[in-house]
Structure 1
């Protein structure tokens, strides 16, 4: 397959070599101007190679070289050469100081990588390879240096000048300029460098560490947003305390800074001591943020803080080890959130995200191991596999070792590798050595793509009073890996008697962890006087697809009696999926099966269940998840089946839903119980509206009233979404009212855009075309682009329209976006990679969209790699 204008270099993990030079000190001096910024750099090099080095390649991209000196002497032209990839020093000495001065153009840098100017601020994003857009250097994670940074800017436009570490001095200059000098005492790779300059207000607090040090905490935001930082600051302090308590890790600098911006490709970035955040993960008030927003802030604030040790103090040898910091830190932030909130609900949410993003990734052409073997563009490997599946691998080790033993392994990991750039093998080895356990099988998990299928069969022997469980694993072939080896799968399990109680398992334990290490293994449990029902994979103890032998009655029993929250939820989900797939196969079979009806009725009638968990139990699987259970996704049939089941449940339980809706009404409070009550109440409203099948305005009036009278954004936005997406309701006045009220709040207008783009109506494509020319839409703001294009791609019946119009439209927008922001374009292109899962006409239409993209002149490396791995002509 030919892709226009690309000559991608494939980086192979097996080709890794230690750098021939290390940089011990980097001093940067930046004179900041939006159009033309000059960067002076002074780098101290020391050779580490045993043989003479004739060429030293320094990374550099989009740099205009103004001067170059080595040890104080200007280099002659024959002593270096410039290339498209950077600067090559010829016959460098064993140690030397390199001084360079370059010019860069921050305002023109729409990629938002390196140093860029957006929203009146200078910002940086250097992970993974953005530092090379600032100066010539060894831009690789295994090159750690101490940084000194001096920033110069006009006082009027940039009163705030920030960089990593500690501020050592400030001063004024001529013509209204000023400067600030920062030093970071800890060596770090270039990807952790950060600086910010702009007109920002600051919210300050402090935290006293376990050893008694006072740390200044600062959150920098626009002046109008200073009142919206309470959740972020509180989450930060709780994360600092949690990391001390659970892992013994104390913060190591005198100040910790967070900067919020709308112009950011990622969620946030853990730059040492100076975290730059997407504003959506910092700003929140009851009037402008939902409960989900609050929880997202808690999680991401914690995640970036936890990186201080798992990512910064101990960093990566190379980018193939990315999950060493991201998977490990996702696990840590998940555990933090579980300790702060409902552990069962948190685990359900974790698994839902894994199944929504990572399982499809593992089953498609973009499948790759948690530690990839090769890449063309590292930005494309910030994936659900690296993050979410990587976290599950860490969780499995935690499950096998236990909490105390896992902590011993982490202590040894930090003790051995503080200040080093290391590998996944180093992490696993620390766990093994600290606990005298052989975990070598987990290295296969890191190197093998695909989601294992775990098949369970079981039988009770009344004569022997025993139950035998057999487990078998199989991992489907993935691109480049047709044959799979068995992997160690920890299966947390229990056996329940007819009263719903856990019975002893060959002793006194009422829960066991079975380790399936071979293709097939069996276990027998004795001394069981009565038949039992197995509760398998409790807490979702491994990232697998479980095929269970349970019938509907057994699942209904577990849905009412299992004391494991995940498995109780999973049992109802399984019942719902079975009913939905039957309707997809034959629409005339649409019904509410008795087992599912019993489970729903039991849950509706049990007021003792935590409201948040109750809402999870009563929520139907998403259309995407239903489709993933099919060999070929039937888009319209899945949509209609889910719509029908939602309507049926809404109609058959009107009194119960109405009772919940009225009984759960309360004045806004920000605590776990209140959050759960709001979630359950809004779910009840959604079922009531779904059950209003004749298009009567009665239930819509409840939503209108809630929209108008809500004292918080959670309730207001829930009503707004139901009204906008109601099939029978004209919500044009609501759309106008919402925009009028909140047009000065970018994060809320992102939601306004996204909800319209996700509306499952035929006219939505035309509406999205209008949104792209709306005055509030901006191609240079990633949040806004993701709201519209991401919302559209997540709208199955419109994106996957049978005539291919959704694909053609989407590809046109990605072509335009690729010229501005290749990283965001590549990430948004992944829905087109799933073409194999659809019928032949859709496959052809998706293939045409990919071909159109492949033919784009000046196609970015980012987007080219996604197309190359996705394109149907390749297979």
Structure 2
């Protein structure tokens, strides 16, 4: 991690990539683990790269104490260039040579949680992207792949479990109550996939047999006392193994596969080969402590990290600019995994809508802001700043478009060819796209591949303007599509993208019409056309009456669709569209249209901004006998304040908040009897199960309870607050309990304080549950500026710990990043708080600080007085002389014109 406070930041450019001057074939690491002073003996076998001109060997290092350097067993000359170890006069020619480096480091002082560190008495590592250099001097780059042998030695009582990558080949006792374990990884890997864990841990174990008949050991390691929360993670891991072999023919390639959970982790999880290290948030769950969302996230993240075993580990990135090669592809795979586990089509649709919501509320703003970058960036100062929703979620959409263009079976063929060509290699995004195209000759992807790859090289979100025209005499419907993409930093002119657009046409009764594109054969339901020019027309024949178009079904491309449908047409789609995504989207567009009208209106915010037609449509959805409860909850959820803000040129966060709250309050009152019906019909689910039907019922019940509490707050009726508090006390699972608590807090009811105190007393020993308790309060609706004082009080709470990333995120991020109505204060106090915390956290954990710094990167859209105050706060951070490169890159780009 280049977060050192010394010298100017260095810009790394993709065009400057050069192969390494040396290859490392084998690595033999021996660790004598001690929190204060860990000794690392690194024996490597290297050879010169014959394709590179002879030069010195430059090894990356950071915060290391160098004790010894030997070449072929003898002394050698070396020098330090900053923290880089430079060795010259090395053996010439193609013959390999041995290099031995002995260093020490202090894991207990490693607050960055990168490299080797100690958390609650246990050793962990985090090496992606550039953390291995904090363990030993090395060529810390992903295209150097080596075979690893690792020996761990430690005190037997303090560290009874010793883990590393691969297979355990030897273990035993040593003098002085010490012991050792020796691990050999049979697969070559880059150093960012190295891992070790040592501590007092217990494991849930499961033996499985693959399709080939091989037996494998699966293990989930946690701290003692957490074993009862590991069943779901193990089930998710087993499901992942089965799915990857069935869907893509990719088997588990190790004797064992291990997951280890830690409470101190900057990320969600890490796919180290065979030894995945996870944030506890994505491992620990039982019905008493975890919500339905937690269960779903664990399933998804466990799947994601396991799928990296092939897409990321067996084939890795040539350089960090190719990060989406592994991350975008693997997010796509974990999304497909979660959808494939849903037996019901409506549950698949709910998952797709949830994924798109993340993309549009997080990635689209990134694409429109100062940190905009292509899926394959061209430059960076700090690579940790590019673990973004663009690399992950937009990258996944690019892969999804490939599947759309070649079909599901064609995509599997592309994956098979990709592994035939590149297994065991470090490659590029171009290599993957080429394999998918070559496996499907004659496909649209193959025909348009050079143009399609603009999705990797061009930043920004394309806008597609759609215009429909019905010709009654010719019995045709013409759909004109035009694409544009706004300039982004460093890219002013954008060439046309390849955009698959899924289309349906509905008749007056809401039925899908058969589609004859340009007189071609009929397609039932949905036809996918490919927009590859600036403007194209598609003519559907045999249309007897003007249809209602359903465009971009299933969100077939990551674009903004501009189509001026009337309210009547949107209501028709909401009532009838066979595509669940566009049915949901119609409701969102109707709500957004009303929100924007109220925001742009003169004078005070109208307290009833919704018309009767919209209210009636929401009532019809809520009461619909055939719609899934989870789908209803999604439709009835109003667009997020951040998403509304992105539709405006000038943003007044307080007015957006007031309008959305007025819309929610109106729905609470207007549908009061319907909410009672929904609550009574869905509140009983029997024994807890995290399946889609049960989670949907709980989600709708929670929404109904919140709406009933909001109405009760306004009319002073104590019945529903009392029922919510009773449900909070009696709930048989965390989802129902937390939904009831949230209803009281969101409505700002007097019982909320009592419930919060009771909740804390019940779960004060459960760290992940306390994170929810902190986050709920920091993210609550602001009433008269009360949230920021509450946040400052939470920071002084005995259970708050700024150095724990989960706890810091639960309060500070919940306030600064997820509560715009409270954060954007006219007195600028929210921005002052933000600047204080960015600077404070940056002193010990630059990665977390840089993420927090992103909370204000859209400041230029703000109305006054927010705009000037936000700029002043960013400039205050930028003026700090000893900022990390992580934070400095973010604030510098934010302030740039």
TM-score bracket for this pair, using the shorter chain length: over 0.9
Structure 1 equivalent of residue 313 of structure 2: 312
1:703-722 mapped onto 2 (5 Å cutoff)? 703-722=724-743
- After superposition, give the CA deviation of every residue in 1:743-802 in whole Å (9 maximum; x if it has no partner): 111000111111111122212111111211211111221100111111111111221111
**For 2:634 and 2:337, how far apart are their aligned partners in 1?**
20
Q: Secondary structure at the match of 1:467?
A: strand
In the TM superposition, what is the alpha-carbon distance from 1:391 to its structure 2 partner?
0.3
**For 1:497 and 1:553, how far apart are their aligned partners in 2?**
13
In the TM superposition, what is the alpha-carbon distance from 1:6 to its structure 2 partner?
5.1
1:612 aligns to 2:616 (yes or no): no
In the TM superposition, what is the alpha-carbon distance from 1:109 to its structure 2 partner?
0.2
Q: Secondary structure at the match of 1:602?
A: helix
Whether the aligned pair in 2 keeps the contact of 1:590 and 1:641 (CA below 8 Å) is: no
1:776 aligns to 2:799 (yes or no): yes
Using the TM superposition, name which of 241-250 and 759-768 deviates more: 759-768
Whether the aligned pair in 1 keeps the contact of 2:148 and 2:184 (CA below 8 Å) is: yes
Structure 2 equivalent of residue 508 of structure 1: 522
Question: Which of 700, 703, 709 pairs up with 1:683?
Answer: 703
1:806 aligns to 2:830 (yes or no): yes
Whether the aligned pair in 1 keeps the contact of 2:149 and 2:182 (CA below 8 Å) is: yes
Q: Secondary structure at the match of 1:365?
A: coil
1:393-432 mapped onto 2 (5 Å cutoff)? 393-432=398-437
In the TM superposition, what is the alpha-carbon distance from 1:594 to its structure 2 partner?
3.6
Q: Secondary structure at the match of 2:413?
A: helix
**For 1:799 and 1:227, how far apart are their aligned partners in 2?**
38
Whether the aligned pair in 2 keeps the contact of 1:116 and 1:123 (CA below 8 Å) is: yes
In the TM superposition, what is the alpha-carbon distance from 1:16 to its structure 2 partner?
0.4
Using the TM superposition, name which of 614-623 and 105-114 deviates more: 614-623
**For 2:50 and 2:760, how far apart are their aligned partners in 1?**
62
1:442 aligns to 2:452 (yes or no): yes
1:181-260 mapped onto 2 (5 Å cutoff)? 181-260=182-261
Whether the aligned pair in 1 keeps the contact of 2:709 and 2:744 (CA below 8 Å) is: no
Whether the aligned pair in 2 keeps the contact of 1:695 and 1:728 (CA below 8 Å) is: no
**For 2:184 and 2:31, how far apart are their aligned partners in 1?**
14
**For 1:49 and 1:845, how far apart are their aligned partners in 2?**
57
Using the TM superposition, name which of 175-184 and 733-742 deviates more: 733-742
Structure 2 equivalent of residue 497 of structure 1: 507
**For 2:182 and 2:623, how far apart are their aligned partners in 1?**
64
The two structures have a TM-score, normalised by structure 1, of 0.98
In the TM superposition, what is the alpha-carbon distance from 1:260 to its structure 2 partner?
0.4
1:40 aligns to 2:55 (yes or no): no
1:81 aligns to 2:91 (yes or no): no
Whether the aligned pair in 1 keeps the contact of 2:607 and 2:662 (CA below 8 Å) is: no
1:570 aligns to 2:585 (yes or no): yes
Structure 2 equivalent of residue 299 of structure 1: 300
In the TM superposition, what is the alpha-carbon distance from 1:852 to its structure 2 partner?
1.4
Question: Which of 745, 749, 753 pairs up with 2:766?
Answer: 745
- After superposition, give the CA deviation of every residue in 1:661-690 in whole Å (9 maximum; x if it has no partner): 112121233132111111111111122122
Q: Secondary structure at the match of 1:787?
A: helix
Q: Secondary structure at the match of 1:455?
A: strand
- After superposition, give the CA deviation of every residue in 1:316-359 in whole Å (9 maximum; x if it has no partner): 00000000000000000001111112110010001000011100
In the TM superposition, what is the alpha-carbon distance from 1:855 to its structure 2 partner?
2.1
1:454-493 mapped onto 2 (5 Å cutoff)? 454-493=464-503
Unaligned runs of 5+ in 2: none
- After superposition, give the CA deviation of every residue in 1:223-281 in whole Å (9 maximum; x if it has no partner): 11101111101111111111111100001000000000111000000000000000010
Structure 2 equivalent of residue 136 of structure 1: 137
**For 1:106 and 1:387, how far apart are their aligned partners in 2?**
30
Whether the aligned pair in 2 keeps the contact of 1:30 and 1:150 (CA below 8 Å) is: yes
Unaligned runs of 5+ in 1: none
Whether the aligned pair in 1 keeps the contact of 2:21 and 2:52 (CA below 8 Å) is: no
Whether the aligned pair in 1 keeps the contact of 2:591 and 2:638 (CA below 8 Å) is: yes
**For 1:30 and 1:456, how far apart are their aligned partners in 2?**
62
Structure 2 equivalent of residue 865 of structure 1: 889
Structure 2 equivalent of residue 701 of structure 1: 722
Whether the aligned pair in 1 keeps the contact of 2:628 and 2:696 (CA below 8 Å) is: yes
In the TM superposition, what is the alpha-carbon distance from 1:606 to its structure 2 partner?
0.9
- After superposition, give the CA deviation of every residue in 1:563-587 in whole Å (9 maximum; x if it has no partner): 1010000000000111111111223
- After superposition, give the CA deviation of every residue in 1:391-438 in whole Å (9 maximum; x if it has no partner): 000001111110011111110001100000000110011011111122
Question: Which of 827, 849, 863 pairs up with 1:825?
Answer: 849
1:638 aligns to 2:634 (yes or no): no
User: What RMSD over aligned residues (CA atoms) do the two structures have, in Å?
Assistant: 1.3
**For 2:793 and 2:121, how far apart are their aligned partners in 1?**
28
Structure 2 equivalent of residue 537 of structure 1: 552
Whether the aligned pair in 2 keeps the contact of 1:650 and 1:690 (CA below 8 Å) is: yes
In the TM superposition, what is the alpha-carbon distance from 1:808 to its structure 2 partner?
0.6
Q: Secondary structure at the match of 1:223?
A: coil
Whether the aligned pair in 2 keeps the contact of 1:552 and 1:595 (CA below 8 Å) is: no
In the TM superposition, what is the alpha-carbon distance from 1:549 to its structure 2 partner?
2.3
The two structures have a TM-score, normalised by structure 2, of 0.95
- After superposition, give the CA deviation of every residue in 1:45-90 in whole Å (9 maximum; x if it has no partner): 0101346523111111111001111100022xxx210122320001
**For 1:278 and 1:394, how far apart are their aligned partners in 2?**
27
- After superposition, give the CA deviation of every residue in 1:8-51 in whole Å (9 maximum; x if it has no partner): 00000000001111000000000000011010000110101346
Structure 1 equivalent of residue 874 of structure 2: 850
Structure 1 equivalent of residue 613 of structure 2: 595
Whether the aligned pair in 1 keeps the contact of 2:269 and 2:279 (CA below 8 Å) is: yes
**For 2:216 and 2:52, how far apart are their aligned partners in 1?**
46
- After superposition, give the CA deviation of every residue in 1:574-608 in whole Å (9 maximum; x if it has no partner): 00111111111223484322432232122122121
Whether the aligned pair in 2 keeps the contact of 1:458 and 1:549 (CA below 8 Å) is: no
Q: Secondary structure at the match of 1:863?
A: helix
Residues 6 and 732 from structure 1, CA distance in 2 versus in 1: closer, same or farther, beyond 3 angstroms? farther
Q: Secondary structure at the match of 2:739?
A: helix
1:353 aligns to 2:358 (yes or no): yes
**For 2:772 and 2:656, how far apart are their aligned partners in 1?**
25
**For 1:504 and 1:333, how far apart are their aligned partners in 2?**
33
Residues 435 and 156 from structure 1, CA distance in 2 versus in 1: closer, same or farther, beyond 3 angstroms? same
Q: Secondary structure at the match of 1:224?
A: coil
